[in-house]
Chain A
Amino acid sequence: MAGTKRHIDQVLKNKLGNHQASITEADWDAFDAFQQKKKPSRKGLFYLGAAALFIALLSTLLFLNRNTSVDSPKAANQPRNPAPQTEQGNQLATKPSLSEKESVSNPTEESEINANNNEEETSANTAQSTDHSSPGNTLPSADNETGADIPSTTPPSTQVLGTQNIESTPAAIERNEEVKLSRIAPRVLRIPASQLGRFEHAYIAAYAPKEDKDSNKNLLKFVKKLPPMGPCIAVGLVYGFGTPQLSLTPGDPEQEHKDYAATEKGTSSRSNVFRFFGQYEYRIKAGLEFGAGLQFSSVTQVRKYSFENRNIPFIGPDDKILLYIRIPSNQSVDPTVFESRQNIYSATVPLTVGYAHAIGSKLRIGARVQGNMGLNWSKAYTNLNPKSLAETPSAGNSNPLNIGYGGGVYGEYFYLSKWSLRGSFDWTAQNKQYKSGNSYNLQNRFYEIRFSLVRYL
């Protein structure tokens, strides 16, 4: 009456090891409905998250910038070509920024102001002008700088625009109170000439009337024509070169040819990357800068292999290597030669942190580190089958998530008041490009040359 007695584990395995449950069309319909409800949200969420992060960062920086600049709305909102004015203080208030290389040769000569607005000529150069036509613009000499000679509001001697990190009001400065510095945004400010000595490290541009050359000398020692702090937008191109770092995942001996590791070296390889990017950056005092943007990359990796496969694997019905058939060394074997090629396209959101230092009035050097995250798209590549050592298509095995990091140095040349060209040299790395093992896994290591066109806002 009783059947064969076996160990309970064996019975379970016999009964359920290859068991197949019943499935009907209704199961598919239920799954299909479930899939339609669930699947689209995954990629959408990723894009939404990346976009939200970028927008949030951009908005925060813009908001902070606007918020801290609100103290000088008149200066910001006034037309750049105002009607000629005779009162020097008012004219000064229309100057938007100091580090723009704007120069004003004479506040009463509107045409000259316009002509100089975006020229290379610096305020320092203009200050050397020798036109003394307007006595009302005379600056006090250093010997004659006393608070008693200067009116408390919009004094004629207030002939300097402080545009960098000064938060104190002109009145507070005039009262000799401690100067408060802004943490983020520049602002336009009139500084009494008598107080200039307190701002050695502030970026100050002189309003330089032509008529008093001697007085200008007193101001010029404070003039630092450094690039503006605050936001800028950079767009650019990148070319990178390097060799992918290969890592061979130790595999199952039944799933991996015993000579697989020997093919790792290959015969030659080359890789390159092209990128296009746009980035929003914000610079705060102390030279620190932060950036976020969007970057599209195209990575090509080519690796050639040539080897003799003398151990032919015999693969069993369960798709595992059972044994090897050895081709004797006295028999010739055609070498296996092929080229492994990968093309990976990616869209990433880079985040950068850097530090920059000005050298003179037109140059800036800096260093920065970056991290980025985004998506990969792979296209038409081949690889080596770890079991048969034959060329095999492996499209689709690319890791969809692109995580990279790197850093480098750069130099920036300001050829116009708000425009600059930046060249940088970076080293970058990226996460493994294949999702899983049993194959060579590629990790990009590139040296990159990056050119950017930068517009300061």
Chain B
Amino acid sequence: MDGQPTHSEALELARACARGDRSAQKQLFMQLAPRMKSVCLRYAHDAEQAQDYLQEGFIRLFDKLDSYRGDSALETWSTRLFINNCLSLLKKDKKIREQTTVLDEKADYADEFIEVDEDILDADQWLDIMQKLPVGYRTVLNLFVFEEKGHKEIAEILGISENTSKSQLFKARRMLKELLTPNGGN
């Protein structure tokens, strides 16, 4: 917890950023960017796209900071904003819908229990593997695993059916498993 700003410091920093104070903006950027970039890397298909998401996200963050009232931690609030931003940018690409509407609506995608060795890869390697997933798989996986959304919510967010969301998750896990096997990624 060392180095983390207190609630009042975060509020003060947010207000300074909202006023357009560039040194405050830089401070906040350096403070939040590592976490936000990780979020962007999870949603993007490569580092370049993640960098775009990061920059667009911070533009939006500085634009919206005047509405931050300190009800939740600044990092939590910012993460939500970045996730929404990533989803909105992904929706603009229209790739999610294109890649998530091809599966069998009637199939039963049971929650498959796939076990993996926790230490098989480090975080950066996991990110690389996630980026190899099709955008639809990756987005549903992100929302289900990291944002802890149910399939109903995911369906509403992405404008897809509930069963499609289930199928995307099912396929995403299978593909991850395949990618983890030797030569699976090639």
CB contacts (< 8 Å) of A6 on chain B: these are 115-116, 118
- Chain B 43-72: CB-based contact to A (< 8 A → 1; otherwise 0): 000000001001100110011111101111
Report if A330 contacts B (CB, 8 A).
no
CB distance from B74 to the nearest CB of A (A): 10
- Give the residue of A14, A318, A319, A438 whose beta carbon is less than 8 angstroms from that of B118: A14
Report if A2 contacts B (CB, 8 A).
yes
- Give the residue of B30, B121, B146 whose beta carbon is less than 8 angstroms from that of A13: B146
CB contacts (< 8 Å) of B63 on chain A: these are 39, 42
Q: Is A20 in contact with B119, judged by CB distance below 8 angstroms?
A: no
Assembled-state Cα–Cα distance A399/B15 (Å): 16
Q: A3-B119, A4-B117, A23-B34 are in contact. Are A255 and B58 (CB under 8 A)?
A: no
Assembled-state Cα–Cα distance A23/B36 (Å): 10
Report if A326 contacts B (CB, 8 A).
no
Assembled-state Cα–Cα distance A8/B34 (Å): 24
Assembled-state Cα–Cα distance A385/B70 (Å): 10
CB distance from A424 to the nearest CB of B (A): 35
- Give the residue of A19, A42, A435 whose beta carbon is less than 8 angstroms from that of B123: A19
Q: A385-B71, A438-B71 are in contact. Are A17 and B116 (CB under 8 A)?
A: no
- Give the residue of A8, A392, A436 whose beta carbon is less than 8 angstroms from that of B116: A8
CB distance from A87 to the nearest CB of B (A): 71
Q: Is B58 in contact with A31, judged by CB distance below 8 angstroms?
A: yes
Assembled-state Cα–Cα distance A63/B101 (Å): 53
User: Which of B33, B63, B177 lies at the interface centre, i.e. has the most chain A CB atoms within 10 A of its CB?
Assistant: B33
Report if B102 contacts A (CB, 8 A).
no
Q: Is A396 in contact with B18, judged by CB distance below 8 angstroms?
A: yes
CB contacts (< 8 Å) of A27 on chain B: these are 29, 33, 37, 54
Q: Is A15 in contact with B121, judged by CB distance below 8 angstroms?
A: yes
Identity of the chain A residue whose Cβ is nearest the Cβ of B18 in the assembled complex: A396
CB distance from B186 to the nearest CB of A (A): 20
Report if B152 contacts A (CB, 8 A).
no
Report if A21 contacts B (CB, 8 A).
yes
Q: Is A35 in contact with B59, judged by CB distance below 8 angstroms?
A: yes
Assembled-state Cα–Cα distance A21/B141 (Å): 20
CB contacts (< 8 Å) of B126 on chain A: these are 11-12, 15-16
Q: Is B67 in contact with A15, judged by CB distance below 8 angstroms?
A: no
Report if B90 contacts A (CB, 8 A).
no
CB contacts (< 8 Å) of B71 on chain A: these are 255, 319, 385-387, 438
Q: Is B121 in contact with A20, judged by CB distance below 8 angstroms?
A: no
Q: Is B34 in contact with A5, judged by CB distance below 8 angstroms?
A: no
CB distance from A223 to the nearest CB of B (A): 61
Q: Is A39 in contact with B26, judged by CB distance below 8 angstroms?
A: no
CB distance from A399 to the nearest CB of B (A): 9
- Give the residue of A23, A39, A386, A436 whose beta carbon is less than 8 angstroms from that of B59: A39
Q: Is A11 in contact with B66, judged by CB distance below 8 angstroms?
A: no
Q: Is A396 in contact with B123, judged by CB distance below 8 angstroms?
A: no
CB contacts (< 8 Å) of A11 on chain B: these are 116, 118, 126
Within B93-135, the residues touching A (CB, 8 Å) are 113-123, 126-127, 130
CB distance from B83 to the nearest CB of A (A): 13
Identity of the chain B residue whose Cβ is nearest the Cβ of A396 in the assembled complex: B66
User: Which of B15, B118, B127, B173 lies at the interface centre, i.e. has the most chain A CB atoms within 10 A of its CB?
Assistant: B118
Q: Is A35 in contact with B117, judged by CB distance below 8 angstroms?
A: no
Q: Is B59 in contact with A34, judged by CB distance below 8 angstroms?
A: yes
- Give the residue of B26, B38, B54, B59 whose beta carbon is less than 8 angstroms from that of A38: B59
Identity of the chain A residue whose Cβ is nearest the Cβ of B33 in the assembled complex: A23
Assembled-state Cα–Cα distance A28/B30 (Å): 7
Report if B145 contacts A (CB, 8 A).
yes
CB contacts (< 8 Å) of B145 on chain A: these are 9, 12-13
Assembled-state Cα–Cα distance A5/B120 (Å): 10
CB contacts (< 8 Å) of B114 on chain A: these are 7-8
Report if B73 contacts A (CB, 8 A).
yes
10 nearest interchain CB pairs? A3-B119, A396-B66, A20-B34, A21-B37, A23-B33, A19-B38, A8-B114, A5-B115, A19-B123, A435-B67
Q: What would 6 A/B residue contacts be, using CB atoms closer than 8 Å?
A: A3-B118, A5-B115, A15-B126, A31-B29, A319-B76, A392-B69
Known: A9-B173, A11-B118, A255-B72. 12 other contacts (CB 8 A): A4-B119, A5-B118, A7-B115, A18-B35, A20-B35, A21-B41, A30-B51, A31-B58, A318-B76, A392-B70, A397-B67, A397-B69
